[in-house]
Chain A
C-alpha cells in the first residue's frame, strides 16, 4: 500500500505536510484518542497542551508510529502510515523526534549518536555525516563535547545533543515530546533557546509542552486537548486571551495563575 496523496490543493497557498483524518486510538478497551482531525502546514509551529493523560503525547507519537492508530488515517509528507514497514520507515526518516528523557545512546559518544542514523539510514559516508553532525552540534552550542559520552553531560546539554541528533537526519518535521519537563529549572532556557532558533529558521514543529512562554512567542497555533479530544485550537494570542471552552479556561487558570 504505497498510497500517496496529492497535497497540492489549488486554492490553498501553503503546502500541507501532515494530514490526520478521523483518527482514533485505543489502548485495549481504553479509548485514548477520539476523532482527531488535524492539518499541519509546512513551516507551521504547533504547541499542544492539556492536562496529563489527555493523549497529547500519544498523538504526536502516532505521527511517527511509535504508537499505532486503529481508525482513520495519518498521512505524513504524502506517505500514509499503515502496517507497511516501508512506509513507516519512510516517514520516520523525515520526522525527527525529541523525547522527554533524551534517549541518547549511552554507549556511543555524542558524535556517534549524531552520525549513526545518517550513516545507517541515509547511507551517507562517515566523513560527510561527521561534518554535518559537527555543524549541528555547533548550532546547539556544544561542539566541544563531541567526543564525550552522554553520561558525562548535564541534562540540558543532553537534550541539545538529542535535538542535534534529530536534525542530522535533515527532517522535514520535528516532534517534541515534553522536551523540558525532565530538566532542572536553570537548564530549561538553553533548550528553549535552541528550539526558538529552530522555529525562526522555518522548521515545521509539533511540540507537546507546558512552557506557555514558548507557546506565546513561537507558536502559530496552540492546541488544547482533554480526554483524548482536541477541545480547542487557536492562534496563541486568541487562545490565551479569549479561551472559548470552559475546560480550556480552567486549565489556563490553573497553569497561569499561581
Chain B
C-alpha cells in the first residue's frame, strides 16, 4: 500500500487540479465534452452566424426611421420601415383616448409602478404605507382612467392599445390570485356545498374556451340581464378574463396545497390554530411558494390572452396594428407591426418570469441544508 505523506487526521485541504477550473476548463466541459457536443457547438455557431447579421441589417442598418409613407421608406432603404411605428406610436399606446387627456394614462402608469414596488419588493422603504397605497390604487386608477368627479369622463370604448392590455392584464392578475386561492381552499373544504360549488366553477370555466366566454360577455349577457340595463363591455370582459384565470389559478394552487406533507396540517391543528389562521400563516405561505412557477405561468398566459379581445371588437395592440395596416399609406408592413407588438409582450412576460425566479430563490433560503 502506498504510504501517504500526511499522518491520519493531518491532511490539509488542497486546491483542485488546475485543469478543472478556469475558462479553458469551462469550454472543454460545456462546449467540447463529446463528439455530439462538438457537432452541436459548431452547428449553433453556424446558425447564429447566419441569423444575427441578417436580422441586424434588416432591423437597424438597412432600416428607415423617418418617412411619411411606406413608399418613402422603401425609397430610402430596403429593410424595416420603423417610421410606421413612429407615426402610430400614440395609437399603439393610448388607443383612441382623447389626446388632451392622455396625461391621465401616463400618471396611472407611474402610479402603477409606485404601487407595485412595495408589493414586489419586501425591503422597500415605507413598505407599510406603500401597501396601503397599493390597496387604494385600483380605485385611483379607475377614477383617473374613467374620469368623473372633476375629470372629463372618458368612455371605455375609447380605451385601446397597450393601455387596454395593461388594464385587462393587471386587473385579471390582481383579482385572479385571491379568487383562485379561495377556490382551491373551497375545493378541499369539508363542507360539501362549498366543495361542489368550487369544483363546478373551476370545471366550468376551465372547460370552456376563453373566446366563448368573451362572446358570452359581449352578446349573450344582454339576453340574461333585464332589458335596458347597460353594463359596460370592458367590465364584462374584465370579469370573464378574471374568472377564467381564477379557475386555472385554483388548480395550480391546489397542486401546491397537495404537495404539502399532511404533517404540516396536523401540526397546525394540534396547536389549536383556527382554520383561517393556519391557512394564512402556515399552509398558504408554503403552498404558494411551491406554486410560484405555475402561478406566474398562468399570469403570463392571461396577459397574452388579452389579445383575444380583438374578436369582440376591443382594440388591443394587435387590433390597433391591423387597423393601421389597412391604411393605404402603410399597407404591407405587417412584419414591423407584429415584431413591435411581440417585443412589447416579450418585455412584460420576460419581466414576470425573471421576477418569479428571483422570488423562488429568495424564498428558498433557509429551506435547504
A-facing residues in B10-25 (Cβ within 8 Å): none
Q: Check B270–A89 contact: CB distance below 8 A.
A: no
A66: B residues at CB distance < 8 A: 266, 269-270
Q: Check A120–B281 contact: CB distance below 8 A.
A: yes
Which one of B144-152, B202-210, B243-251, B361-369 is at the A interface?
B361-369
Partner of A152, one of B264, B286, B366: B366
Asked whether A81 is an interface residue with its Cβ less than 8 Å from the other chain, the reply is no
Given A99-B266, A120-B281, check contact A151 B368 (CB 8 Å): yes
Q: Check A151–B286 contact: CB distance below 8 A.
A: no
Main SS class of interface, B: helix
Given A103-B263, A120-B281, check contact A151 B271 (CB 8 Å): no
A99: B residues at CB distance < 8 A: 263, 266-267
Given A66-B270, A92-B270, A99-B267, check contact A116 B369 (CB 8 Å): no
Q: Return the chain A residue nearest B260 by Cβ.
A: A106
Asked whether A101 is an interface residue with its Cβ less than 8 Å from the other chain, the reply is yes
Categorize the interface residue count of chain B.
20 to 34
Q: Check A116–B271 contact: CB distance below 8 A.
A: yes
B363: A residues at CB distance < 8 A: 107
Give Cα distance in the complex from A152 to B367, angstroms. Answer: 7
Asked whether B104 is an interface residue with its Cβ less than 8 Å from the other chain, the reply is no
Give Cα distance in the complex from A148 to B285, angstroms. Answer: 18
Asked whether A255 is an interface residue with its Cβ less than 8 Å from the other chain, the reply is no
Asked whether B70 is an interface residue with its Cβ less than 8 Å from the other chain, the reply is no
Given A103-B264, A152-B366, check contact A93 B272 (CB 8 Å): yes
Q: Return the chain B residue nearest A162 by Cβ.
A: B267
Q: Return the chain B residue nearest A151 by Cβ.
A: B367
Q: Check B286–A107 contact: CB distance below 8 A.
A: yes
Give Cα distance in the complex from A208 to B367, angstroms. Answer: 29
Q: Check B285–A107 contact: CB distance below 8 A.
A: yes
Please give the distance in Å from B190's CB to the nearest CB on chain A.
11
Give Cα distance in the complex from A228 to B163, angstroms. Answer: 67
B310: A residues at CB distance < 8 A: none
Give Cα distance in the complex from A29 to B366, angstroms. Answer: 43
Asked whether A97 is an interface residue with its Cβ less than 8 Å from the other chain, the reply is yes
Asked whether B114 is an interface residue with its Cβ less than 8 Å from the other chain, the reply is no
B281: A residues at CB distance < 8 A: 116, 120
Q: Return the chain A residue nearest B263 by Cβ.
A: A103
Q: Check A151–B274 contact: CB distance below 8 A.
A: no
Q: Check A121–B271 contact: CB distance below 8 A.
A: yes
Interface string of A94-128 (1 = CB under 8 A from B): 01110101111111010000001100110000000
Q: Return the chain A residue nearest B271 by Cβ.
A: A117
B266: A residues at CB distance < 8 A: 66, 99, 103
* Chain B residues at the A interface, C-beta cutoff of 8 Å: 261, 263-264, 266-267, 269-274, 277, 281-282, 285-286, 289, 363, 366-369
* Chain A residues at the B interface, C-beta cutoff of 8 Å: 64, 66, 89-90, 92-93, 95-97, 99, 101-107, 109, 116-117, 120-121, 148-149, 151-152, 165-166, 169
Interface contacts beyond A103-B266, A166-B271: sample of 7 additional A-B pairs, CB < 8 Å, sorted by A: A66-B270, A89-B272, A103-B263, A121-B271, A152-B369, A165-B271, A169-B272
